[in-house]
Amino acid sequence: MGNTLRNNVGIFGRGRWQPALLILLWLVSPACGQRQAEEPWWERSFVAGSEHYWIRTDLPRSDAQAVARHLDAMYEEYSRRLASLPQRAPMKLNVYLFKSRRDYELTLRARFGVDTARTGGVFFTTNTDSGLALWTEHLSERRIKHVLQHEGFHQFAYSRFGSDLPLWVNEGLAEFFGQAVLVGGTLVTGQADQRTLLRLKDSIKEKTYTPFDEMISFSTEQWRAEMASGEEGLLYDQSWSMVYFLVYAQNGRWMGAFERYLRMINNGLRSSEAYRRAFETSETDAFEQRWRQFLREAVPSAFITALERIEFLAEGALELARRGIFPESLDDIRRELIAIDFTYRFAKHGRIVTLEATDDDVYRIPHVGRSKHQPVFLVSRLNLRQLTRRQRIIEEENPTPSIITTEDLKPHGLAIDWRRGNENSTFSYRIEVP
């Protein structure tokens, strides 16, 4: 990380950061025998080393080490950005990393009395213990990293605020960091995807969002009741957008007040009093009105939207390859995915997000900023002339799925890097910045 970036950031960062990407892939290995599968998870798991974390897991050691490196890098980011906030509670950085969702739910319920149904990961506290827990089964690397960063912030924040951090701030900041991209030791924040912005714009238009005076004063019980009513996803989106507004609106006009607000809560002030002192008002109407206007005018990040959509295309290409279909253009992959009625689903805060092959938007990248060129996805076949004779033989027997890249995506492009399995017949992928 360069000195310029270090000198220009506070808790959230100042200046204009350009996004880039580095994504790791953690593969779930097959079961290691019937005897092992019948043992309790705690008995067949092991403790992985980390500079800051105690990690118990049943993932392969190489995958556990990749997670440990990412956790350590995020810990350094949290520590640097929240350095002005003294630690208030003991910091027990326990991590429980499960291959399967079943082991995740059974182990946390039996050992800690924690109900994790319908969750992709949690930070939990009990009278005797605390920890970050998640499962990786059938999840893409991007989903795993999002959970690590979101729940990892909750874990770190607990050491600074205990249980005093208001829920909208806690969840908003967790999403702020969860959606960030870590590249080369630098955390790039401020990424807004098109789908989330459209949902928030609709909530403003239809007046289905939660009024700020209610949002700011939500108790844990009220928050849970709202989640139970089916508005869970919108609560998280709105919490993120409020933090996003305070950090970036009008070139960071309210960022200093927001940082003062956090310091006052860290010092023990109640949220309402900290809000009044930090923002020099008790009213929320003006705050809410400016937030609405900010979101109406907000545009998505082409990069983060392309990241979600290239993942959809990669999953689609992988499914087509299993069927012996290898498209050579974007039009080809669109036609073939529609023909098999392909959909890609992932969970986000209890809500299932579905991307469908029939939606033309999933093949497009938003054109934002001042670039003269429209960024696009490119689909092609692997160039056999670049391979060795042995590689060509393997390729002819088990062809690589379609090659997918971007063109004119600023400031960085994306590409799918296909990886063959040990037997050359299976594939996994990484999303990389060329």
3-state secondary structure of 91: coil
- pLDDT at position 119 over 90: no
Peptide bond into 411 cis (omega under 30): yes
* CA neighbours closer than 13 Å in the CB half-sphere of residue 117: 2
pLDDT at residue 88 in the model = 85
Annotate 21-37 with DSSP letters as a single string. Answer: ------PPPPP--HHHH
More confident residue, 92 or 70: 70
pLDDT at residue 35 in the model = 47
Element housing 426 (H / E): none
Q: Are 138 and 150 in contact (CB under 8 A)?
A: no
Q: Are 433 and 414 in contact (CB under 8 A)?
A: yes
As a whole number, mean pLDDT of residues 187-192 equals 80
C-alpha distance across the termini of the chain, in Å? 19
CA distance 318 to 326: 9
pLDDT at residue 347 in the model = 74
pLDDT at residue 1 in the model = 36
pLDDT at residue 247 in the model = 92
- pLDDT at position 231 over 70: no
For 334-372, how does the pLDDT look when each residue is reduced to its tens digit (9 = 90+)? 999 999 999 998 877 657 789 999 999 999 998 876 668
Q: Are 150 and 174 in contact (CB under 8 A)?
A: yes
**Cα torsion angle, 115, 119, 121, 123, sign:** negative
CA distance 200 to 350: 17
Q: Which DSSP letter does residue 179 get?
A: T
Query: What's the mean pLDDT when you consider all of the chain?
Result: 86
3-state secondary structure of 199: helix
CA distances in angstroms from 245 to 59, 187, 201, 224, listed in the order given: 38, 19, 14, 24
CA distance 351 to 119: 10
- pLDDT at position 53 over 80: yes
CA distance 343 to 315: 9
pLDDT at residue 370 in the model = 66
For 237-264, how does the pLDDT look when each residue is reduced to its tens digit (9 = 90+)? 999 999 999 999 998 899 999 999 999 9
pLDDT at residue 412 in the model = 79
As a whole number, mean pLDDT of residues 285-294 equals 94
Residue range 1-163, CATH number: 3.40.30.160
- pLDDT at position 28 over 50: no
More confident residue, 10 or 101: 101
- pLDDT at position 38 over 90: no
Residues 6+ apart with CB under 8 A from 130: 92, 94, 123, 124, 155, 158
DSSP helix, strand, coil percent of the chain (3-state; round to 5): 50, 15, 35
How large a percentage of the chain has pLDDT more than 90? 57
CA distance 107 to 121: 13
Element housing 276 (H / E): helix 271-279
Would you kindly state where each structural domain of the chain is located, as residue ranges?
Answer: 1-163, 192-300, 302-432
For 366-423, how does the pLDDT look when each residue is reduced to its tens digit (9 = 90+)? 887 666 889 999 999 998 888 888 989 999 999 999 999 999 998 778 999 999 987 7
327 closest CA partner among 318, 319, 317:
317
For 136-151, how does the pLDDT look when each residue is reduced to its tens digit (9 = 90+)? 988 888 889 999 999 9
CA distance 264 to 249: 22
pLDDT at residue 183 in the model = 65
CA distance 396 to 266: 61
Beta strands in 170-275 (DSSP E): 181-183, 186-188
Band of pLDDT at residue 83, cut at 50, 70 and 90: confident
Where do we find the tokens 């003991």?
A: 90
pLDDT at residue 27 in the model = 36
212 closest CA partner among 189, 243, 233:
243
Band of pLDDT at residue 13, cut at 50, 70 and 90: low
Instruction: Residue 387: count other Cβ atoms within 10 Å of its Cβ.
Output: 14
Band of pLDDT at residue 11, cut at 50, 70 and 90: low
Nearest-10 Cα torsion for 329, 333, 338, 340: 140
143 closest CA partner among 163, 120, 166, 124:
120
3-state secondary structure of 406: strand
CA distance 245 to 290: 9
The torsion angles phi and psi of 130, rounded to 5 degrees, stand at -155, 160
Strand-pairing partners, residue 344, are 355
pLDDT at residue 46 in the model = 96
Strand-pairing partners, residue 355, are 344
Strand-pairing partners, residue 378, are 405
As a whole number, mean pLDDT of residues 73-86 equals 89
As a whole number, mean pLDDT of residues 96-106 equals 96
- pLDDT at position 180 over 90: no
pTM score of the predicted model? 0.80
pLDDT at residue 355 in the model = 94
